[in-house]
Chain A
Amino acid sequence: MWHDAMLVAGKDLRLEVRSRVALNQIVPFALLVLVLFAFALDPDRGLLERATPGLYWVAVLFSGLLALQRAFTVEAADGNRDALRLSGLDPAGIFLGKAMAVGVQLLVLEVLLGIGVAVLYTTQFAGWPLLLATVGVATVGIAAAGTLYGVLAAGLRVRETLLPLLLLPVLAPVLIGSTRAFEAALAGAPAEGWPWVGLLAVFAVLYILAGVLGFGPLLEES
């Protein structure tokens, strides 16, 4: 399973490194979202700085959604879906591999967005252990849930509109949890943030399990 996962993740990441779609389109989009927030909320009133945790995670969700769409668009062409099915790879491995590749891309996005808010919103980061733990478990949760719902929407003509409708309500707890944890860390009260990391971890575990169990039937049936 893990060997298959590594193969699939490696394939997806190589694809991204070579095509540079993530770098050339998704990263600029993520930074654009940050700039749009600044247009919407007057930068002079300190609103941006106070709202940084929420804006940051909304930007991560939106740009992560693009990365997820992309992860399944590359499988849509040339009957790749059938090829994956026939490849003999463990479906759980395929799920984990795709989720890992999405997770790595999300991590890159998160680092860049972090630099973005530090520069553009003059946010002072503090409470590093909590911040890093939050980023870690939230990324795993988004990647796992996103991959599961991504394959649910994949291969359908309406996938571009369907995936956000399916995924964003499911990710609402991740947005709440990661935003509160960031707020706690930035406010210098990390003790309030750790329960949220626990919630995010429960979410991540639940969706990894659901994906490992459910990916096989989904890949077979459609």
Chain B
Amino acid sequence: MTTQSNATTSRPGGATAPEAGPTSTGSKATRALGILALAAVALLVLLGLWWTPADVIQNESVRILYVHVPAATLAYLGCFLTSLGSLMYLWKKSRWWELVGYAAAEIAAIFTAVTLVTGMLWGRPTWGVFWVWDARLTSTAMLMLLLLGYLAVRRLPADYHVRAQRASIIGLLLVPNVIIVRQSVQWWRTLHQEASLFADGPGATIEGIMLFTLVFGFVTFQLIFAWLLVHRFRLAWLEEQVAGQGLTAAIAERRAEGRSASGAAPAPIAPPPAVPSELVHRASTTGPEVAS
């Protein structure tokens, strides 16, 4: 994959589909990855629901942790990728990285939601309440809100550069914000209560098939994460490509109109980089969707 620098507009709608480009986000490799992920999910279901014993303290509810802990870890990985992608966009103007960051942020938001929901379902039988103002819970909820803010900006109906630039600043600040929020919440709670409620959670005395299931849960969720990331990235890439192509075609038409008097050949529609990116960008900023 390359980082072409042709600019795009806000909406993919109204443009013709790329003629030579791929028409699906799947490939042999991703299909194999998808089948592998499905098989792993099936195995994880069997392991988590039937083959592992119930926990001595937490009873059956321990099974939620085989989903909860991997989802939480990969949500953090997604945030890290978002910050990295944003940094690379701001630093190198790499659209490839920017789209990776965007795709990772969406997946991270889903995994954070999964983490929160499974955490609440686990908390209800274990602590008797859905929610406690524990440092981890609170900072995870704040992380969810920060991710939603990033996605809100990234999905604004505006020029690609405006969206990408603004979202990247938020994305870059995502990890520092999470660290500060986490630190402050941790201080806040430890001033009030002592031991963390997670003391009897995973890692305390987990072994045998339960440990294997947890590790296998990590593997499964990594496969799902990778599959989702590849597809979401390709979809975002195609979206931008289509939008750019529609604009390029329109500009080519205008230029052909202008040049028809002097007898120049009209610019071909298919290859997007035919027009200088500066011109595309300037034209796109005068579109109706662009702010202020």
Which one of B145-153, B207-215, B245-253, B271-279 contacts A? B145-153
**A156-B158, A221-B162, A222-B291 given as contacts; is B187 within 8 A of A195 (CB)?**
yes
Interface flag for A108 (CB, 8 Å): no
- The bracket for how many chain A residues form the interface is 20 to 34
Chain A residues lying within 8 Å of B173, measured Cβ to Cβ, are 170, 210
Interface flag for B185 (CB, 8 Å): yes
Question: In the complex the two chains form, is A177's CB within 8 Å of B184's CB?
Answer: yes
Question: In the complex the two chains form, is A192's CB within 8 Å of B90's CB?
Answer: no
Interface flag for A203 (CB, 8 Å): yes
Chain B residues lying within 8 Å of A152, measured Cβ to Cβ, are 153, 166, 169-170
**A162-B152, A162-B153 given as contacts; is B180 within 8 A of A222 (CB)?**
no
B186 to chain A, nearest CB (A): 10
Q: Please give me the residue from chain B that is nearest to A202 by CB atom.
A: B180
Question: In the complex the two chains form, is A155's CB within 8 Å of B292's CB?
Answer: yes
Q: Please give me the residue from chain A that is nearest to B292 by CB atom.
A: A155
Question: In the complex the two chains form, is B187's CB within 8 Å of A218's CB?
Answer: no
Interface flag for A199 (CB, 8 Å): yes
Chain A residues lying within 8 Å of B158, measured Cβ to Cβ, are 156
The 0/1 profile, CB within 8 Å of B marked 1, for residues 192-212 of chain A is 100110010011001000100
Question: In the complex the two chains form, is B149's CB within 8 Å of A165's CB?
Answer: yes
B108 to chain A, nearest CB (A): 15
How many chain B residues touch A (Cβ–Cβ < 8 Å)?
30
State in angstroms the CA–CA spacing of A196 and B187 once bound together.
Answer: 9
**A residues 163-218 touching B (CB-CB < 8 Å):** 165-166, 169-170, 172-173, 176-177, 180, 192, 195-196, 199, 202-203, 206, 210, 214, 217-218
Consensus secondary structure, chain A interface: helix
Question: In the complex the two chains form, is B149's CB within 8 Å of A169's CB?
Answer: yes
Interface flag for A18 (CB, 8 Å): no
State in angstroms the CA–CA spacing of A80 and B173 once bound together.
Answer: 27
**B residues 152-199 touching A (CB-CB < 8 Å):** 152-153, 156-158, 161-162, 165-166, 169-170, 173, 176-177, 180-181, 183-185, 187-188, 191
**A residues 72-109 touching B (CB-CB < 8 Å):** 76, 81
Residues in chain A within 8 A of chain B (CB atoms): 76, 81, 148-149, 152-158, 162, 165-166, 169-170, 172-173, 176-177, 180, 192, 195-196, 199, 202-203, 206, 210, 214, 217-218, 221-222
Residues in chain B within 8 A of chain A (CB atoms): 90, 142, 145-146, 148-149, 152-153, 156-158, 161-162, 165-166, 169-170, 173, 176-177, 180-181, 183-185, 187-188, 191, 291-292
